[in-house]
Amino acid sequence: MTVVTRASELTAALAEYGRPRLLVPTMGALHDGHVALIRHAKELAGAEGTVVVSIFVNPIQFDRPGDLAAYPRPMEADLAACRAAGVAVVFAPEATAMYATDRSVTVSESRLSRNLCGAARPGHFDGVCTVVLKLFLLCGCDMAVFGEKDFQQLAVIRRMVRDLNVPVTIVAHPTVRETDGLAMSSRNVRLDTAQRADAPRLRHALLAALAAYQTGTRTTAELLATARQVIEASALARIDYLSLVDAESLEAVERIERPALLATAVFYGEVRLIDHVRLAP
């Protein structure tokens, strides 16, 4: 496995490997969810292809300085996980290698990013789009694999690729969960014991709303109330948002007439967790 930290080194390293080239973009602190993405990329790459993993805690997508500072960075463990999963190249740059001090260009998406995490974290998706496009260009990848846990991120990146004619195929992988239902996230390790025990509540709340939907409830107000009741029963959880949106436009809906998405972001102390469930008529 080759590990590089600069764009020039990445270009030289990739010249030694074959196509197709699959990118798995990460911010490190790799867990079994990331490993599942890498394994899927390996399957798609085949015997002749190459899997590249980027490990970069992207500063321009963080809306809270404290969250950036606290984000876990276990680089040695991450490299060991990549090596064990059969990754060919790891690109692990510093911020100074990715952004000029006088940078003045940012990639923005203005429609799908208006609600949910986009409304709760101003500027977040500008940072995501900018870094992802840079990684696509630097890696020259044919495909890129993203997890469905970050559903809005996936939708925004697909829109960026479509609207800018980026020649990269976006591949989605289902959310990977712990045995208790909590969506795997690099932020989970920052939960204390009580918070970690309570965090599966997010999944329980969404499934309670799904069960209500499956037994005939269709209005947003009723479905949100069902999920909210489960989350607010905890003294540890603080809702950032709880929204029901159209699964394609990500615009709020009052009643489910088309495929929809029930999504939530919840704080446990300073740790922000997200999850969602699909609702389809």
Annotated catalytic sites, by residue? Answer: 34
Residue in the block written with tokens 């939708």: 155
Tokens of 47: 């015997």
Locate 138 and state its tokens: 């630097």
Scan for tokens 């805690």, then name that residue: 57
Structure tokens at 109: 């998406």
Tokens of 171: 């591949």
Identify whether the C-beta of residue 85 lies closer than 8 Å to the C-beta of residue 50: no
Tell me if 27 sits within 8 A of 59, measured CB to CB. Answer: no
Extract the tokens encoding 2.
């080759």
**Contact present, 236 and 218 (Cβ < 8 Å):** no
Query: What is the side-by-side strand order in the sheet with 169-173?
Result: 2-4, 89-91, 50-55, 21-26, 143-147, 169-173
| Cβ atoms 134, 97 nearer than 8 A | no
Distance CA 131, CA 123 (A): 13
User: What's the number of CA atoms in the CB half-sphere (13 Å) around residue 62?
Assistant: 15
Amino acid letter, residue 216: G
Separation between Cα atoms, residue 68 and residue 55, nearest integer Å: 14
Residue type, 224: L
Backbone CA torsion sign across 33, 37, 43, 48: negative
